[in-house]
Structure 1
Amino acid sequence: MAATTSSSVFELSSHALSSAGKGILAFLEEFGRARAARALYTELAAMSDAELDSLGLVRSDISRKVYAKVYDLR
């Protein structure tokens, strides 16, 4: 015995809009992370080696540190 369900046009369009909204929200969140990463990278890259050393960083660690900070990796 097969079960059938029927969805109204309203339910289908509501689901489609919800899915689109989630996709847009995810895109905006990722865009925000990219902007934050760029700002942090620019700030750290502009520092002298002595300033980076005072933060416990070397220049080659900047990309890795920025990625870990923006994506909250530990």
Structure 2
Amino acid sequence: MRETDGGPLFRFTQRNKLTVGETAELLTPGKPGQAFRVAEMYDADGLPIDSAPHPSMVFYLRVPFEVHAGDILRAGN
């Protein structure tokens, strides 16, 4: 997690392409998934990006829910 003036950004590692504007779902073990629209993404250096297209790419994302270690981010449409 990175703290920013706009709130925390959470670190994820890409498995499937994710793009700004898509709906994603945060999956927490033992809880129902929580859907949200991806409004902004940042690369490992903190620069804004439109998508995470590369396998194993590290990126940061603002999530409107509490995020825990072990949570999974699933890309939607």
TM-score by length of 2: 0.20
Higher helix share: 1
- Structure number with the higher strand fraction is 2
**Larger relative contact order (C-alpha < 8 A, sep ≥ 6)?**
2
Using structure 1 for the length normalisation, give the TM-score: 0.20
Larger Cα-atom Rg = 1
